Every structure is written in structure tokens, then in C-alpha cells.
Structure 1
Amino acid sequence: MGLGRCALLLPLVLVLAASAARSFGIDYANNCFLKDGAPFRYISGSIHYARVPAPSWKDRLLKMYMSGLNAVQVYVPWNYHEPLPGLFNFADDRDLEAFLDLTAQLGLLVILRPGPYICAEWEMGGLPAWLLWKPDIKLRSSDPDFLQAVDSWLDVLLPMIKPRLYHNGGNIISIKVENEYGSYYACDYDYLRHLLAAFRARLGAQVLLFTTDGNKEAALRCGTLQGLYATVDFGPGRNVTAAFAVQRLYEPKGPLVNSEYYTGWLDYWGQPHSSTDPELVASGLQDMLKLGASVNMYMFQGGTNFGYWSGADYKDKYKPVTTSYDYDAPLSEAGDPTPKLFAIRTVIGKVLGPVPSSSLPTTNTRAECCPLGSMAPASLLGARRRAHPPWRRGGCRSKQGEEKQGLVPRRSDRQGTGCRSHKDSPSLFQGQLWINGFNLGRFWPRRGPQQTLFVPGSVLSPVAPNNITLLELQAAPEKAQLLFLDRPLLNQTRSPPGTGAA
């Protein structure tokens, strides 16, 4: 009897011992992270699951792993999951747990950034618009109304996260609290204290919590708090020793961490496409790794602001962000490896040792499709026009039809191929476009620099006709033409002769 009991208890003891051995924290004496008691540093890249359709998650994550990364950094946009108070959506493209499961399956650690404010050039920085139903609410502060909403959100989100923490057997090694709060005017330490207590109460004392701020002393002054490990962010072209000296003002001991090493930059409507030299990015990465720093590259794959999710900045004037969030990242908006990725991969292999040996595919499957014939516009303010008769060219045709409210669906007889493409609209001004009910985002070719919209292969039907719905907000032409290209056009402005950009 005693022997049988020992036999039953032994596996349980072994499991508990294995779980207890898992740990992630900071060795202040030796200025490094400790993973399971051994010195560790991460080389990470940012990917936003909300900017990549779920069918493409595995492809992007696998390419990140094959590039030599051992971790990914992930934002959780609150407004993406709670569109109305108490109404939560974690299905399909919003299935956060499925995304995290994929990271674990591919052997990637996770640095999670749940906000509640995330910035990320995302609509309202991830904060739900319904917060503004209370006109006197003070966002990102210790305002009781704001804190009540934050706590209700964390009550839903963090129980999903806790079992996935590294010391609980998962792959999440650290959690970031807020986002560059030192750059916000409020400088409300009571707010940061509330967040610290809220995360600790829901996740426990073992998880590593940290902050990120720009590498200026003034930014860290209001963005840091005792109990939250302070990290910095900066891009290439900097003296990395001087840049990390700002972190050392607030963290004299512990690992050097650049939480946002900028591989490129975002685009605004009406301004040129941003780009950063691959060798400059690779050189800065090498300098940081030689210092023993942990680095997260922002972005490693940018993705797309589908629907209405693109955010905006206000720097002396309102600056809306383009639909494309390509970011000139190592993986393009469509998930293709770029020269920048291979330059980074070479540095990682040189400094940290061999990267996974399998070759990266150069591109995903893509196709250049035929033009889709003329569209029949319907004015929101005037009488509706009738659609033109069915029209053929190049193997495609548009189909007669119209819809109220200016939304005119069109159908191509060309069946989908499962590939992805880029939609160009040479005769259009500004508006929104849907394919099979999926909102590809805003187009504004007259303003530029973005001329095309990325079309994920997963939104195209391989068997049924594909429906296209177009909303033109300015001046719908008599004949609008859509082209499907095998490459993006991200750095042009298209204007009628003599008119200039809109």
C-alpha cells in the first residue's frame, strides 16, 4: 500500500519540482536577466496580431524565429477586444490566446504589453472610444472613472495571461505597464501606483513588470516607479553607450534594455514614405549586443491598419497615420523577408551564435490580377446613378448592381487563388474598400504616399466570386478602375495635372 502511494506521488512531485525550477528575473549584481537561474538576454521583435490576419500569424512568427529571434513583443489593444462596455471579443483575428499558443509552439518567448494605453499608432492608443462618453474623464490618470474602467478590463484580460507566465509553465517572461508615460503631460504617480498594484494583485509577485520611455532624463522622471524596472527606447545612428547612460540614471544595476529599437518608422498621409538604411540598423544592433544588452526591434513585422484602426499623432498639427503599417520593417507588410532582415540575421549569427539553419522563403505567394471594370458611383447627397451593364476585359467583368448609402458592391468572376496582392485605385480620391466584407482600410492616393491597399490571401475566396465594395468620399468618377498588383506602391502622390495633392 505504501509502495503504491509512493508510485502515485512521485510523478506529481517531479511535475511540481519542474514547475518550481522555472523562473525569470533580474540579477542586479551581474547586470543581466536570469532565466531558470542562468544568465539570459533576449533578442526580440515586435509583431501586432491585430495588424496581421490570423491565418498569417504562424507564417510571420516562424520567419521571426528563423531570423534568430528568441522572443517577440506583443501589444494588446484594449479597444480591439472591448468595443462596448462589458462586450468582449476574443474570436478569430482577435483570438489572443490562439496567438500566444502559436508563439509557444514555435519556441518563442513573449514580452507582453497590455497597456492599458499602448500608443502603437493605433486608434486612440488602444483606449476604447466609449470612455469619452463621460465628458469630464481624464485619461491615463488616477481619475476614478478611468481607473474603474481599467480595472474591469484587467479583470478580464489578466486571468487569461496568468497561466501563461513563464514561472507558471508558459512563455511570457515580462509584462510592460503603460507606455512611455513619461512623455504624457499628466505625470500622475498615483496612476502608476494603481497600475502596479492592479497587475500585482492579478498576476502575483513573481512576474517581472517594466516600463519603457524615450532615452531622455525628463521622460524617465515621470515614466518610472519603484517596483517597475525602467527600460529605454531609441533608434539606429545613436551612440549606444550614451543612450543607455540615461537608463543607468534610474537603474544603476540590472540589464541594459532597449525595448523599442526602431528598424524603420511610420508613415503619415501627405508625407514621404519613411525608410531606414539596413546596414545602419544592423550596425546599431551589433553595437548593443556587444554591450550585452537585450533588444526588441520595433517593428519586426509592421502589418496593416485594417478597417478604421489607424491612429494619428498631433505634433504641431494633426497627422493621420496611413493604412499601411509597413514601417520599413525587416518583414514587409505582406510578410516578405527584406534585405534588412538578412542584415539583422547576419549580426545575430555573428554575435550570438548560429541562427536556425533552414532557409527563409524569399516571398510569400502573390499574384498580379486583372483589372476590375468600371464602377457605378452612387452619391450620398444626390440622386443615385444606375450601374453600367456587365463589362468584360482581360478575363474579368464587373456586375451590374448598386446599393444605398453610397456603397456599391462589385463582383469579379475571377476566382480567388489563395494568394495575396495589392489593390491600386488610379482614378479614386479618398475612401474605404471592402473585399468579401473584410475592410481593407482607408485609401487616399491623392494625398499619398500610399497608393495601394494590401489584400491578404485569406480574405479572397478560392472558389466563389469575390465581392468588392467601395466607398468614395470625395468625387466618385464615372468610371473607377481597380488594379491588383504583385507589389505595393508606398511612396507616391497621385494628383490630377495642375491641381496638386488634395
Structure 2
Amino acid sequence: MPALTTSSDGFLLHGEPFRIISGALHYFRVHPDQWTDRLRKARLMGLNTVETYLPWNLHEPVPGTLVLDGLLDLPRFLRLAQAEGLQVLLRPGPYICAEWDDGGLPAWLVSDPDIRLRTSDPRFTDAFDRYLDQLLPPLLPHFAANGGPVIAVQVENEYGAYGDDTAYLKHVEQALRSRGVDELLFTCDQAGADHLAAGSLPGLLATATFGSRVEENLGALRTHQPEGPLMCAEFWIGWFDYWGGPHHTRSAADAAADLDRLLSAGASVNIYMFHGGTNFGFTNGANHKHAYEPTVTSYDYDAPLTESGDPGPKYHAFREVIARHAPVPDEPAPAPGPKLPETTVELDRRAPLLPYLRTLDGAVRSEDPVTANDLGVDTGYVLYSTTVPGSGDGLLRFSGGVGDRAQVFVDGASVGVLERERHDETLPVRVPEPGAVLEVLVENQGGVNYGPRIGAPKGLLGPVSFQGEALHGWECRAVPSADLGAVPFVPSDAATDAVPAFHRGTFEVDTPADTFLALPGWTKGQAWVNGFHLGRYWNRGPQRTLYVPGPVLRPGANELVLLELHATTGTRAQLTDTPDLGPEND
């Protein structure tokens, strides 16, 4: 019998009445050395449970492998949650959305153009089954049936917004059950009648997602499910940002009032997010409804606990609300954590990108450009190069467009940019002479995480022509980013730079602490501190600083590396004690 069961109107945990007061905390968006701190702060706010998705794409980056270390050491995260006295809700997907690259589906899976994602297609279900065969054995000891903290597991994720393949949902349910998951299973859908009907299964608890109109949405859930607990499995108290858009915020008073309405109705809740964390590296997703909109690096989400783990206004407001309905620890609310003193970093060494890439082995030669997916390049950048037989003024045409942003160079000189979000496919250029070298640096800005465009290809998406004549004889190569030790840095010889280049500088730290990287005068690129990939920066905003977790720093000398794709007005970066995620938009 599962530890968590349902009654006609609530939950029972080990036979005793239990209301889930949970908050979302994604272990893979938080530095592992900070998990204990974030879990303690969850308990101190009054939460009795934490919820997390599981990103299939990171746990199984290559078919047949399983990664459970570092940021992905989920067993350790579960042990720490239990040590803090917290229960855990697991949401293994297979699809998670989460504003995460390709919604958490592995690139090796979604790159198959014929596969029918999130359906009974055996190519999809068999892959998920094989993943569970690896994933569940190390997790089952942490389930409540075995004395662990995991009390419930979600089947799929907001499936009613995507499809209506009930046989597929049943397969996911049975895949979990047949591999030893005895805990309560639940589905989660937006609180509309159609979504709830398409995304739920008989015999499983249905839960809803919403951020307002509490009475209306709980009413819809009760209409769909006349008996059993009412639960908002994603109570949206903030929102995510995309490059070029506003920084989304929601007032603490407004969110707290709706939380009070939820709890006053007797419902259980999972606050999304309690602590958002960061889309480190290349992990951010994107939305694509009318236009492609890549998500920023920060996943602060205007959550109660900020990206750097400090209690914000919602933390204190929610703690007061929860105290009206459930016990809250008789301990002081946590204080903001220490921050590194203001520090200037001089990036005094550089390595132009394109000349460096030309020296590397491993280029794939093809008659026409090959997509990044077909090259096996799941994230980051691909450089394409060929020669142009014609010359003069003409139109460079990229049939099918680019995925997602392309910088175009002729004989090393920048001639323009094409973007998926603008549906760009052509660029007027001047080719000085026959045989000029055309290079196209294409950036994957994040896989779409919601809707039918999950798995959309990256790189160059079709043939390229100049003056109507197709260009052939391409070299395609990935831009290495996992290990930057081979980059040939030399002393900078200019205060400004107008070509893609790596830049490197060092700075001293007495006592490591959280800090925020500000890059005034820089344009667009990636940042690493001591080899830890912080993520993407872009002066388009709204985000203006990148979070640097204290644990990635060390006493003494530290290294900052930037890959700047365009130009910089100087060679300095700043480490500051205050985040800047852009102007607030209540």
C-alpha cells in the first residue's frame, strides 16, 4: 500500500490526514553544494514537501547511458530532502516542459523526423521504457515504500494540452508500476475541462495548474473529479523571461492572497517555483507560438527564494499565509547570504574564434550543409564554411532558414545576421572575388519546450545559394565548449574587439561567496568561471547579470572566460553584489 493515499476530500500519509504544501525546486538548476541550504529554507518557509522534474535529456545524453552525478545526483538530493524532514513529489515525464531544452526530451530521440513524440509510437515508448529500466533501480530505495521521502510520482505532464492518446498515458502508468513504483500516481493539467479530460486517467489522481482565479479553477477540477483531494500541482506565482521581452514579476501581496484562497479551500498546493535557480550552460528552452522566443539564462521566476537563494518578498508573505493553515517552524526566517565584494576582472587575453576553429580536426565534409542534429551537435554552435564561385553584389539565400541564429562572414568579415525569430532566409552581400570564403556560425539558442515544435532542427536547415546558384562543398564543425583548455589565448592587443573571440581574465578571491557577473560593453555570448558554464549573456536583455554560485569560486586565483560573438567596447567585466534581471513588469 502506498504511503500517500486519498480520502473523499484529502490525503492521508501513513493513515493520518496530510495536506501537501509543496514548492518546486529543480535540483538540476541549483549547484549541488547549495542543495542543503535551499531545502532548509523550504522547510523554514513552512513547506512539508518539495517537487522536482527529472530532465531525461541530461540523465540519458546518449542512449543506454545514465548520468547520476554532480548536478544530476538525484539520489543525493533525495537523501538531503529526507534529512530535512521533507517529502518529495517526482515528475519524471517523459516530457517536462519546464522552459527546458526540448522539454527534457533527449536530442538523440527528437532528432528522428519520423518519430511521433508523446504517443504510443513504439519508437518513443520503447526508448522511455529503456530509460526507466536504468533510472528507477537507484531511485526506488528513496521511495516511501522503502522508507524514503518520495510519496507521489507524476504520469506525463500537462498532456491534455498536447494530445489525447489515452493508450500512451496508460503505457506510462504501467511502465512505472511494472518497475516497482508503488506510490500514488497523479496527472497534472491546465484547469480546463478539455485539458483535464484528455490528460487524466481513470483511477489516477487528477491535479490542476493555474496561477489565479482560484475558486473557478478548483471548481473545474472538482467538476472533473467529484471526489478526492483538490490539488494545484503548479501554482504559478511568477513567470519566466525570454530574450527581448520584459522581466516578469508578480506582487507578493497578490500571489499571497491567492495562496490563502487555495489553502482556505482545503486544497493542497505545489508552488511553482519555490526556488527557480538557473539555466546553466545550454539548457534553456524556448517557446514558439507566433515567433521563436528563447528563454533567458536566469530561472529566478520571481520566486519566494531568489536565484541566489535569498528570501524575497514572497518568502515572507507566503510564510505568513502558510502559518494560518499549517505549522511553520518556530525558527527565524533565513537572512540573505553573503556576497563577494565588488571586483573588476580585466580580460587581457584573447583568441579569435574563426581562425582557431579552422585549425581543428573533425570537420564533416558534405555537398550541402548538414543540420546540427545530423552532425550529432545537440547544443551550442556549428560553423559552416565553403567557397563562393561567383562575385559581386547578390542575395545569399538560406532555404528553410536557420536554427536559430546565424552570423555570416565573407573572407572573415562580418556581413550580417539571420534569426529564426524573424523568419530570416535571405541576406544581401557583396562577394569581392570568385573563391571567397563564406563562413556561417549558427547558434542553437534553445530547443522549443512546449507545443508541436519540440525537436525542431538546428543549424542550417537547407541548401544555401548565392545569386541563385547553389553553393556546394561544405565543411561543418562543432564549436568545442566542454573543455576550453586548448584555446590558444594570447595577450590582447586592442581595447576593442569586433570579431567573435574567446576572452580570458583572472581575479582574486579571499572568501568565496555568491556574486553576479555584469558585462557592460559586451554584446552576446557565453561565460565560464573556473570551467563552470554559467550560460548565455545578451545585451538585448532583459537579463543584465549572470548568477555565479559561490561554490564555483575558490580562494586565490579564479578564471573568467567569455565567448563574445560580436564586439566589445572594452576588456573589463564586473562582479557585483546585486542581480539585475531587467526592469520589473508587474
With normalisation by structure 1, the TM-score equals 0.86
Task: Give the alignment of 1:256-335 within 5 angstroms.
Answer: 256-335=230-309
Instruction: State which of 427, 442, 457 in structure 1 corresponds to 2:550.
Output: 457
Indicate whether 1:486 and 2:577 are aligned. yes
Indicate whether 1:250 and 2:341 are aligned. no
Following superposition, the deviation at residue 83 of structure 1 comes to: 0.9
In structure 2, how many angstroms separate the alpha carbons of the residues matched to 1:250 and 1:304? 36
Indicate whether 1:372 and 2:345 are aligned. yes
1:146 corresponds to = 124
Instruction: State which of 388, 396, 403 in structure 1 corresponds to 2:492.
Output: 388
2:86 corresponds to = 108
Structure (1/2) with the larger strand percentage: 2
The verdict on how the C-alpha distance between 1:455 and 1:291 changes in structure 2, with shifts beyond 3 A counting, is: same
Secondary structure of the residue aligned to 1:244 is helix
In structure 1, how many angstroms separate the alpha carbons of the residues matched to 2:571 and 2:15? 63
Secondary structure of the residue aligned to 2:352 is coil
Indicate whether 1:192 and 2:165 are aligned. no
Secondary structure of the residue aligned to 1:221 is helix
1:471 corresponds to = 563
2:204 corresponds to = 228
In structure 1, how many angstroms separate the alpha carbons of the residues matched to 2:538 and 2:512? 27
Structure 1 stretches lacking a partner, 5+ long: 1-19, 392-401, 494-502
Secondary structure of the residue aligned to 1:411 is strand
Structure 2 stretches lacking a partner, 5+ long: 355-408, 414-487
Following superposition, the deviation at residue 94 of structure 1 comes to: 1.2
Secondary structure of the residue aligned to 1:482 is strand
With normalisation by structure 2, the TM-score equals 0.74
Letter of the 2:528 counterpart: W
1:11 corresponds to = none
C-alpha RMSD over aligned residues: 2.2
Following superposition, the deviation at residue 321 of structure 1 comes to: 0.5
1:9 corresponds to = none
Which deviates more, 189-198 or 58-67? 189-198
Q: Deviations over 1:349-374 (max 9, x none)?
A: 12224x11121232111123321125
For the Cα contact (< 8 Å) 1:97–1:160, is it kept in 2? yes
In structure 2, how many angstroms separate the alpha carbons of the residues matched to 1:318 and 1:390? 36
In structure 1, how many angstroms separate the alpha carbons of the residues matched to 2:318 and 2:489? 54
Instruction: State which of 28, 37, 51 in structure 2 corresponds to 1:59.
Output: 37
Q: Deviations over 1:106-141 (max 9, x none)?
A: 000001111111110011111100113422111111
Following superposition, the deviation at residue 377 of structure 1 comes to: 5.8
Instruction: State which of 164, 187, 191 in structure 2 corresponds to 1:215.
Output: 191
1:438 corresponds to = 532
The verdict on how the C-alpha distance between 1:492 and 1:340 changes in structure 2, with shifts beyond 3 A counting, is: closer
Indicate whether 1:48 and 2:14 are aligned. no
In structure 2, how many angstroms separate the alpha carbons of the residues matched to 1:261 and 1:50? 20
Following superposition, the deviation at residue 217 of structure 1 comes to: 0.9
Following superposition, the deviation at residue 416 of structure 1 comes to: 5.0
Question: Larger relative contact order (C-alpha < 8 A, sep ≥ 6)?
Answer: 2
The verdict on how the C-alpha distance between 1:251 and 1:161 changes in structure 2, with shifts beyond 3 A counting, is: farther
Which deviates more, 379-388 or 311-320? 379-388
In structure 2, how many angstroms separate the alpha carbons of the residues matched to 1:461 and 1:59? 19
For the Cα contact (< 8 Å) 1:377–1:476, is it kept in 2? no
For the Cα contact (< 8 Å) 1:234–1:243, is it kept in 2? yes
Structure (1/2) with the larger helix percentage: 1
Following superposition, the deviation at residue 468 of structure 1 comes to: 1.3
Letter of the 1:339 counterpart: P
Letter of the 1:221 counterpart: A
